[in-house]
Amino acid sequence: MLGNLADMEEGARDMRLVSLPGDEPPPDCSPERPPLTAEDLDAARDLAEFHRLLAADLAPRSQLRGLVLRCAGHWSRLGAIPRNGLAEVERRELE
């Protein structure tokens, strides 16, 4: 896994992933826990797109559609992690 894990506040939507130039995978990456590969990130982006397309075919106010869109959001965020790693999570100020 790239980056350090941190607990997030309930309902935290106003965040984005930030990567600093020259970041490397953390030193705890080992053969048992290899870092995410380019193929992993491509697959995450493909899964996000699939979930968005699936949600488009569901009833607008259905709970299943909401769940599928939430999954799409999670896959999308994973696929958006820069290939050189995740440096931090930065909170955006709401205007």
Range of the domain at 51: 15-91
CB neighbour list of residue 23: distance below 8 Å, 6 or more residues apart = 82, 84, 85, 86, 87
Q: What is the pLDDT of residue 2?
A: 45
Q: Is residue 49 part of a domain?
A: yes
Q: What is the pLDDT of residue 39?
A: 85
Q: What is the pTM of this model?
A: 0.52
Q: What is the pLDDT of residue 19?
A: 56
Q: Is residue 1 part of a domain?
A: no
Q: Is residue 7 part of a domain?
A: no
**Nearest to 4, CA basis, from 32, 42, 35:** 35
Q: What is the pLDDT of residue 38?
A: 80
Please give the average per-residue pLDDT across 26-40, as a whole number: 67
Q: Is residue 10 part of a domain?
A: no
pLDDT digits (tens, 9 = 90+) for 36-87: 778 888 888 899 999 999 999 999 889 999 999 999 988 888 887 665 555 5
- The phi-psi region of residue 22 (left if phi > 0; otherwise alpha if psi is between -120 and 50; otherwise beta) is left
